[in-house]
Amino acid sequence: MTLNRRAFLGTAAAAAGTLAAPAVLANGQKKGRVVVIGGGAGGATAARYLAKDSKGALDVTLVEPSRDYYTCFFSNLVIGGVKELASIRHSYGTLAAAYGVNVIHDWAIEVDRANKTVSLAGGSKLAYDKLVIAPGIDFVDGAVEGWSVAAQNKMPHAYKAGSQTELLRAQILAMPEGGTFAMVAPPNPYRCPPGPYERISMVAHLLKQVNPTAKILVADPKPKFSKMALFQEGWNTHYEGMVDWVGPDFGGDKVSVNPDSMTLTIDGEENKVDVCNVIPAMKAGRIAEIAGVTEGNWAPVNAKDMSSKIDGDVHILGDAAAQGDMPKSGFAANSQAKVAAMAIRGALTGSKVFPAKFSNTCWSLIDTDDGVKVGATYKATDEKIAKVDGFISKTGESSAVRAQNFKESEGWYAGITKDMFG
Ligand SMILES: Cc1cc2nc3c(=O)[nH]c(=O)nc-3n(C[C@H](O)[C@H](O)[C@H](O)COP(=O)(O)OP(=O)(O)OC[C@H]3O[C@@H](n4cnc5c(N)ncnc54)[C@H](O)[C@@H]3O)c2cc1C
């Protein structure tokens, strides 16, 4: 028997329909609808995997206000002049064109979980069967005395990449000779544990070339930080005498800033500075709070599928989630997104769901070709995402090993951005 194309497509569609018939969609609805809020490391990955693996059996809508996504990963390297800003910019075109994701550039402003709808700032309302919330972070109001988001142009955080990254780099380049760059580091937990310290390294790298008598002053509320021994070794090796790190023993936890006078006060002592990079305490992106899925600053989830502990039809990914042992990183968000996408597809199409596995590696660049890394694998327990085993670079490693680490991080960057955006 020969089948013409139309008959073949009809048969195939009917077969797919039968195989995919999900228990959840009993009321005549043909396709499961998934709305993803936030097109970052978590949301873009989830949207791509949902669309790609369901092969048209799901309606996937991605809501993201920005047309261009600038990765925070490698944004410190842009500040240091090691990478160009354009190299960390990505668009959503391939997700729409090649994977059939319905990309809407708008803000989600309300979630009605009882009626399963998401309202957008532009006025539309989206219905969902499963909702993914991956909005990244917002800052805790009043976390640094004297600072608010209104001051972010005078004292940038550069903890969301793009114009803030450009601004901070421009401010550093405009510093007077021998001037002071200051950072207010955040308390735990926060996005990218090594991020502030990789930034210190990249700022030092830049200043060493353009303003070698400049100084870096860091006020830190934490007594220790990620890869501390590695960073401190690197600062001594490459930037001797340039970095003054003030921990809580010396008042690093008692700071205030004045954006008008460009001062940073540490434990009562006022410092006039030229650039002040304020990275305040963080919380889940505001829409998670609006959706009513947060407890305190973060959104608790079940480790096996990243579903909310408050609403099983809502999955929360990435930085916004309180999930257990994983750091708030792009690698982690990407890893969690694949677990959630598989679970959602299973629930809506009946496809097989395998046990959740997670992994993470965070590379940091200390100076040209001097890269260090920390990483771990994780499993889902009833209580949380639990660390299984891990590794970290050692102090005193050879320059060949460090150069190889940096190369590896470039390979990872190419891989993860392809995994997110196609
Ligand atoms: C300086 C720096 C360096 C870093 N380096 C690394 C690194 O080397 N490796 C690594 O793995 N991680 C790194 N990270 C961390 C990484 O960037 C984050 O952990 C990761 O982006 C988190 O992914 P996410 O999906 O939770 O949030 P994001 O990637 O921030 O995505 C959230 C998205 O949601 C959108 N959004 C927010 N609210 C709404 C709303 N109401 N409606 C619609 N959309 C909304 C935002 O516009 C944004 O695009 C770094 C971070 C920083 C700041």
Q: What is the pLDDT of residue 25?
A: 58
Dihedral angle computed from the Cα positions of residues 107, 108, 110 and 116, in that order, rounded to the nearest 10 degrees: 160
* Paired tokens of 229: 């021994």
Q: Is 331 in the pocket of ligand 1 (CB under 6 A)?
A: yes
Query: How much is the pLDDT for 29?
Result: 73
CA of 72 to the centre of ligand 1 (A): 6
User: Is residue 242 in contact with ligand 1, taking CB distance under 6 Å?
Assistant: no
Instruction: Say how far apart CA 80 and CA 343 lie, in whole Å.
Output: 40
Distance CA(215)–CA(396), nearest Å, equals 25
Quick check: CB of 118 below 6 Å from ligand 1? no
Q: Is 126 left (phi over 0), alpha (psi -120 to 50) or beta?
A: beta
Instruction: For ligand 1, atom 53, name the residue with the nearest CA.
Output: 159
Gap between the Cα atoms of 17 and 52, Å rounded? 17
Q: From first to last of its 422 residues, what are the pLDDT tens digits of the chain?
A: 333 433 333 333 333 333 334 545 555 678 999 999 999 999 999 999 999 999 999 999 999 999 999 999 999 999 999 999 999 999 999 999 999 999 999 999 999 999 999 999 999 999 999 999 999 999 999 999 999 999 999 999 999 999 999 999 999 999 999 999 999 999 999 999 999 999 999 999 999 999 999 999 999 999 999 999 999 999 999 999 999 999 999 999 999 999 999 999 999 999 999 999 999 999 999 999 999 999 999 999 999 999 999 999 999 999 999 999 999 999 999 999 999 999 999 999 999 999 999 999 999 999 999 999 999 999 999 999 999 999 999 999 999 999 999 999 999 999 999 999 99
Ligand 1 geometric centre to CA of 283 (Å): 12
CB atoms within 10 A of CB 46: 32
Does the C-beta of 67 come closer than 6 Å to ligand 1? no
Q: Is the CB of 42 under 6 A from ligand 1?
A: yes
> What is the model's pTM?
0.94
**Gap from CA of 41 to ligand 1 centroid (Å):** 6
